[in-house]
Amino acid sequence: MPRDPRFDPLFQPLKIGPVTAPNRFWQVPHCTGMGNRHPRTLAAMRGVKAEGGWGVVNTEYCSIHESSDDTPAIHASLWDDHDVRAHALMTEAVHFQGALAGVELWHGGIRVSNAWSRLAGLGPVSAMAENVPWQSARMDRQDVALLRQWHRAAALRAVQADFDVVYVYAAHTYLLAQFLDPVLNPVDWEARIGLVLALAEDTREAVGHRAAVATRIEVTDEDGTGQEERARLLERLAPLIDVFDVTIPDYGTEMGPSRFVKEAPLENHVAHVRAVTGKPVVCVGRFTSPETMLGQLRRGVLDFIGAARPSIADPFLPKKIDEGRMEDIRECIGCNICYAHDGLGAPIRCTQNPAMGEEWRRGWHPEDVPAITGRADPVLIVGAGPSGMEAALVLGRRGVPVLLAEAEDSPGGRVTREARLPGLSEWARVRDWRLGQLAKLPQVELFRASRMGVQDVLETGVGHVLVATGSLWRRDGTGRSNPGGIAGLGAVLTPDDILAGARPGDGPVVIFDDEGYHIAAGLADLLAAEGHEVTYVSPGGAVAEWSAYTTEQSRLQARLIGQGVTILTHLALAGRGEGTAEFACVHTGKPLGVACGTLIPVTSREPQDGLWHGLQGKGLTTLERIGDARAPGLIFHAVHDGHRAGRALFAPPEGPLRREVIAL
Ligand code: ADP
Ligand code: SF4
């Protein structure tokens, strides 16, 4: 279909400094956990985004000097010629698709660990680095002069690597933001803004003839005040800057998980920047709706639609708008699993887009799967959760006839259940997008309300079977704290029961969170909101500890506090007493009884692989269990495994994963 002309403004080129962006889709700098460790992986991934229509594709934060080393998080660097060659792989891949490539020059200041480089961090003060018990050095005049030299040298290397946009990065609590912060740098305003202006000037002077100079900067001070002073700063910067990439200091909103933050949350904060600077403005907003994007341009809020997560979930989002295929847009669900893996020091992945990070390593493309050559035998997939649906989609697209049998009336499996937790309705996009795509494939047939037993499977006469029957939460307390389970727990409700509609009876509810991600906290929130008296108990030190990686931890804890939930930590479930749940301190073993009418153990899950066992030795050509039926994981694991299985069937065996080879 041709593009709806209403969306033409999104496809108008725009000159920025000495270069011209081909359209208004700006993939803002975002971390990938690839950085200077995985240059080919990175180049292929960014190249795919350019292929999908992102007019400007940026790197992640790119260190200008070894004194800015964010270990264990992985970042890019422009320290030497080796780095220039590594980045050139990316700029070449991006240019090949007709897009511009940008780089975000970065110094972390007081925040970085420098655990690899062992150099001192630098900043306007000597302060504690993040998550480690050591401090940075207070910068003197010579340090400032050196910093300017490093920044300038990195900008020149950026141009050598053929970047078209060079960022002066003054946001996100890194070095330049520290200089702008009146708390960390309590000098007069002119002195505070001096370094940012100097670096903008240096960068313009060094590379402004070849590359657009951008800045990423907040529109208020760290505490959310000082908007007028910031506006004056933006005005001062305007002659030096070609594009303003603006945001607010509250990262939890900018990078907001959908549980708490919806589309376009920054509009009111940044709407003045265009008028103040007279320069093109970009800002993120987890934009996935073309209408919302258009509105941003029409109302004069933005010139470029900034996106990190929407471009991760669907690298082809711009192309789909261009081709009038709105319904094909694979919308980000706002789970922040992409961000979580940067914190884990691992390459990025995405719940919605299983090809993310696999473009080079496995040769996966987010839109194309290799068609079957010759006759394709039909495949039966049992279970239409995320893994079964994704496998059906891949196989269907490859031209394979698929029977997809689902026990329940409504497909989606765990996604359908988990999307019922407070704030998680957008997670249902995992199901809904796949259902929409499957409906376009006549060779895939979905059978609802069709629970398959061994005999039912054999009666279909289909010789290739993928068992995607998922997993269910255990009732016996088996988990990290109690690997052998707990005898005599008695009747409990599981998360599956609650999310299927069961509710506690009289008396207090006790939720034991041995998993540590979000399910137990979500249930506590849900049940407290319904009026139950809820106690949340964790063997860890905080509510939903793992969700710190997805930026949700603190807000989840605040929410439970706000709901009046009693929070108990450092306690492991030990058993059940008369009207109590019995716990023991994980450090001392000291027992504690907690009043309990209904116990909800959130400990671990049991793979539902009985069907797979039952089909062993029954003469099937293919019999594989996939997704949670094999290894219960997060939703992204299930989607990825379904995708892998869909590609692997009727294909030569996959070789070992491709690795980045370090020349020796
Ligand atoms: P995954 O995350 O691996 O996709 P889920 O638990 O989300 O796993 O989904 C598994 C799906 O399989 C559920 O929708 C469940 O109803 C379905 N299912 C389980 N057993 C059977 C069966 N015997 N026949 C058909 N569907 C089944
Ligand atoms: Fe969006 Fe989740 Fe994918 Fe990140 S991992 S891009 S938040 S769907």
The architecture in CATH of the region 379-470+608-648 reads 3-Layer(aba) Sandwich (3.40)
Cα–Cα dist 292/296, whole Å: 6
Of all atoms in ligand 1, which is nearest to the CA of residue 471?
A: 6
Cα–Cα dist 350/431, whole Å: 15
Q: Is 39 in the pocket of ligand 1 (CB under 6 A)?
A: no
550: helix, coil or strand?
A: coil
Q: Is 382 in the pocket of ligand 1 (CB under 6 A)?
A: yes
Q: 253: pLDDT confidence band, cut at 50, 70 and 90?
A: confident
The predicted model gives 117-122 an average pLDDT of 97
Protein residue with its CA nearest to atom 3 in ligand 2: 350
Distance (angstroms) between ligand 1 centre and the Cα of 198 equals 59
- Ligand lying closest to the C-alpha of residue 640: 1
- Residue-wise pLDDT for 335-359, tens only, equals 999 999 988 999 999 999 999 999 9
Residue from 389, 394, 406 whose mutation best tests the ligand 1 pocket (most atoms within 8 A of CB)? 406
Residue from 389, 406, 469, 474 whose mutation best tests the ligand 1 pocket (most atoms within 8 A of CB)? 469
Nearest to 104 by CA among 43, 62, 153: 62
Residue 221: strand pairing partners: none
Q: 410: pLDDT confidence band, cut at 50, 70 and 90?
A: very high
Of all atoms in ligand 2, which is nearest to the CA of residue 258?
A: 7
Give the helix/strand (H/E) hosting 275.
Answer: helix 273-277
Q: Is 36 in the pocket of ligand 1 (CB under 6 A)?
A: no
Cα–Cα dist 95/126, whole Å: 42
Q: 622: pLDDT confidence band, cut at 50, 70 and 90?
A: very high
Q: Is 358 in the pocket of ligand 1 (CB under 6 A)?
A: no
Concerning whether 174 is annotated as a catalytic residue, the answer is yes
Question: pLDDT at residue 235 above 90?
Answer: yes
* pTM of the shown model: 0.97
Q: Is 608 in the pocket of ligand 1 (CB under 6 A)?
A: yes
Cα–Cα dist 249/364, whole Å: 36
Residues with a CB atom less than 6 Å from ligand 2 = 309, 312-313, 332-338, 350-352
Distance (angstroms) between ligand 1 centre and the Cα of 408 equals 8
- Ligand lying closest to the C-alpha of residue 549: 2
The answer to whether the bond into 72 is cis (omega within 30° of 0) is yes
Question: pLDDT at residue 322 above 90?
Answer: yes
The architecture in CATH of the region 473-606 reads 3-Layer(bba) Sandwich (3.50)
Q: Please give the residue that has the higher pLDDT: either 384 or 264.
A: 384
Nearest to 115 by CA among 141, 96, 98, 133: 133
Of 61, 167, 169, 174, the active-site residue reads 174
SS3 for 382-448, per residue? Answer: ECCCHHHHHHHHHHHHCCCCEEEECCCCCCCCHHHHHCCCCCCHHHHHHHHHHHHHHCCCCCEEEEC
Query: Which of 257-266, 347-356, 567-576 has the least mean pLDDT?
Result: 257-266
The predicted model gives 206-220 an average pLDDT of 97
Mean residue pLDDT across the chain: 97
Q: 663: pLDDT confidence band, cut at 50, 70 and 90?
A: confident
Cα–Cα dist 389/184, whole Å: 51
Cα–Cα dist 565/533, whole Å: 7
Q: Which two tokens mark 569? A: 């930590």
Question: pLDDT at residue 262 above 90?
Answer: no
Q: What is the DSSP letter of 663?
A: P
Of all atoms in ligand 2, which is nearest to the CA of residue 331?
A: 8
pLDDT of residue 96: 98
Region of 551 on the Ramachandran plot (φ > 0 left; ψ -120 to 50 alpha; else beta): left
The architecture in CATH of the region 13-343 reads Alpha-Beta Barrel (3.20)
Of all atoms in ligand 1, which is nearest to the CA of residue 472?
A: 6
Residue 128: strand pairing partners: 135
Q: Which two tokens mark 218? A: 């907040």
Q: 255: pLDDT confidence band, cut at 50, 70 and 90?
A: confident
Cα–Cα dist 521/305, whole Å: 34
pLDDT of residue 200: 98
Q: Is 627 in the pocket of ligand 1 (CB under 6 A)?
A: yes
Q: 251: pLDDT confidence band, cut at 50, 70 and 90?
A: confident
Q: Enumerate the domain spans of the chain.
A: 13-343, 379-470+608-648, 473-606
Q: 264: pLDDT confidence band, cut at 50, 70 and 90?
A: confident
Cα–Cα dist 193/168, whole Å: 13
The predicted model gives 3-13 an average pLDDT of 97
Contact predicate 534/566, CB 8 Å: yes
Distance (angstroms) between ligand 2 centre and the Cα of 527 equals 27
The predicted model gives 202-216 an average pLDDT of 98
Cα–Cα dist 514/605, whole Å: 11
Q: What is the DSSP letter of 281?
A: E
Percent of the chain past pLDDT 70, that is, above it, reads 100
- Residue-wise pLDDT for 356-405, tens only, equals 999 999 999 999 999 998 888 999 999 999 999 999 999 999 999 999 99
Q: Is 495 in the pocket of ligand 1 (CB under 6 A)?
A: no
Of all atoms in ligand 2, which is nearest to the CA of residue 336?
A: 7
Q: What is the DSSP letter of 128?
A: B
Percent of the chain past pLDDT 90, that is, above it, reads 95
Question: pLDDT at residue 142 above 80?
Answer: yes
Distance (angstroms) between ligand 1 centre and the Cα of 459 equals 19
Q: Give the strand pairing for 165-170 and 212-218.
A: parallel
Contact predicate 262/244, CB 8 Å: no
Question: pLDDT at residue 77 above 80?
Answer: yes
Question: pLDDT at residue 661 above 90?
Answer: no
Cα–Cα dist 418/639, whole Å: 15
Region of 579 on the Ramachandran plot (φ > 0 left; ψ -120 to 50 alpha; else beta): left
Question: pLDDT at residue 662 above 90?
Answer: no
pLDDT of residue 374: 81
Distance (angstroms) between ligand 1 centre and the Cα of 630 equals 12
Distance (angstroms) between ligand 2 centre and the Cα of 147 equals 35
Of all atoms in ligand 1, which is nearest to the CA of residue 411?
A: 14
The predicted model gives 122-147 an average pLDDT of 96
Distance (angstroms) between ligand 2 centre and the Cα of 615 equals 36
pLDDT of residue 343: 85
- Residue-wise pLDDT for 511-551, tens only, equals 999 999 999 999 999 999 999 999 999 999 999 999 999 99
> Is the C-alpha dihedral spanning 600, 606, 611, 613 positive or negative?
negative
Distance (angstroms) between ligand 2 centre and the Cα of 308 equals 9
